[in-house]
Amino acid sequence: MTFAQIAAQFAAAESGTDSFKQLYKDVFHLMEAGDLENAGFYFVIGVAAQAYVRRYEDEAVPVELANRAKATLESYNAKALQAASADAATRLRLLGEAATDYQVKVAEF
């Protein structure tokens, strides 16, 4: 499965923890498969999705929170898709934007 397919699958899925779990498993699998050029993005996306699952897997999550979290990860997926066809400097800048956004702005997961 390609990252574009994984991103599309996540976008079409419900905002439950199972979707986040599938996302992190899929992107970590791409890392293991040796896609080194995009591994930084897969790591950021995978860690964020995994953190959401670890925090909320066994509890009811308000729909608004789940939808915000899903939108956040969809924005990282969009940056990763954009980076895939960009030059190295642009790819690094987009990765930095996603990593910084997650570290600085996301407190819920």
pLDDT at 50: 98
Q: Which uninterrupted H or E stretch holds 4?
A: helix 3-12
Predicted confidence (pLDDT) per residue in 35-83, tens digit: 999 999 999 999 999 999 999 999 999 999 999 999 999 999 999 999 9
> What are the structural domain ranges in the chain?
3-105
Return mean pLDDT, the chain: 97
How would residue 85 be classed by pLDDT, with cut points 50, 70 and 90?
Answer: very high
pTM of the model: 0.95
Predicted confidence (pLDDT) per residue in 11-36, tens digit: 999 999 999 999 999 999 999 999 99
What is d(CA 27, CA 67) in angstroms, rounded to the nearest whole number? 20
* Surface-to-core class of residue 9, CB atoms within 10 Å of its CB (0-12 exposed, 13-18 middle, 19+ buried): middle
pLDDT at 26: 98
Q: Which of 41, 17, 9, 42 is nearest to 28 (CA)?
A: 42
